[in-house]
Amino acid sequence: MKKYLFIIPVVFLSLLLFNCETGSKYDLPSQVQDIITDEQLDQLKENGLAINEGLNPPNIEGIYVGDSLICTYDSDGDWEGRTAGPYYYRIENQTVQNTVTFSYRTGSGSDEALGKGSFISGSDQNFTLFVEVEGTSQGDPDINYKQVKVYSGTFTTEGIAYWLYGFILTYKSDDPEGRWMDVNDFRIFDEQDDLASNATWPE
C-alpha cells in the first residue's frame, strides 16, 4: 500500500508540470504562444475566425490569391463591410516542426510583407497559419507596431477553400494622435467566393 501512495502523487505532479509547460488550452505548435495569447485567440474565434487545432496539418505550399475579401468583424466598428485586396500569398519551406515561410502582397505591390515568424497547425486538410509581422507606420512620430495575422482554411487541389483571415494588433509605440487602432483591437475578413485560388506571383 505504501508503494502505491508514493507513486500516485508523483504521477499527479508530472501532469501538473506538463500542463504548466504547454501553457495553452489550444492544441497548437508551442511557438504560437510566444506571439499570441489564448485570450486573443478566444476573441478571434468568438467573432467568426476558425482556429484549426492539431499538429498534423496538410502541406499547403503554394501561391494563392484572395480576391473577394470583405471585413465581417471589426472590434472598432470602422471597417465592417469594406473590401480589401486582392492579396497574393506565398507559402513555402513547410517543415515537420510546423514552421513555414510566409509572404504576401497586393497585386500592385502597395502592401507587402514577409512574416517574421510563421507557424501552422491543423489536421486532415484543415489548417491555421499564425504569422507575426513587424512594421513601421511613417509619420510624426513614426509608429512601430506588431501584428499577428491568422489565416484558416481547407486545402484543396483548386486552392484554399473557406479562406478566412484575421489580424490583431499586439504592440505599438507611442501614438499621441491615435492614428492606429489600439492594442488588442482586431479585424476579421472572409473570402466571399469561399476560395483563395491557385495563382502565380505578380511581377
The answer to whether position 173 is within a domain reads: yes
pLDDT tens digits along 38-77:
999 999 999 999 999 999 999 999 999 999 999 999 998 8
At 22, the pLDDT band (50, 70, 90 cuts) reads: low
Query: What mean pLDDT comes out for the span 130-144?
Result: 87
The boundaries of the domain holding residue 170 are: 27-198
pLDDT tens digits along 32-43:
999 999 999 999
The answer to whether position 100 is within a domain reads: yes
Query: Who wins on pLDDT, 113 or 15?
Result: 113
The answer to whether position 135 is within a domain reads: yes
Cell numbers placing 107: 497585386
Query: Who wins on pLDDT, 84 or 3?
Result: 84
Lowest-confidence pick of 48-62, 105-119, 120-134, 173-187 = 105-119
What's the CA dihedral at 177, 178, 179, 180 to 10 degrees?
Answer: 150
Q: How many domains would you assign to the chain?
A: 1
The answer to whether position 134 is within a domain reads: yes
The answer to whether position 5 is within a domain reads: no
The answer to whether position 179 is within a domain reads: yes
The answer to whether position 81 is within a domain reads: yes
The answer to whether position 21 is within a domain reads: no
Summary mean pLDDT of the chain: 86
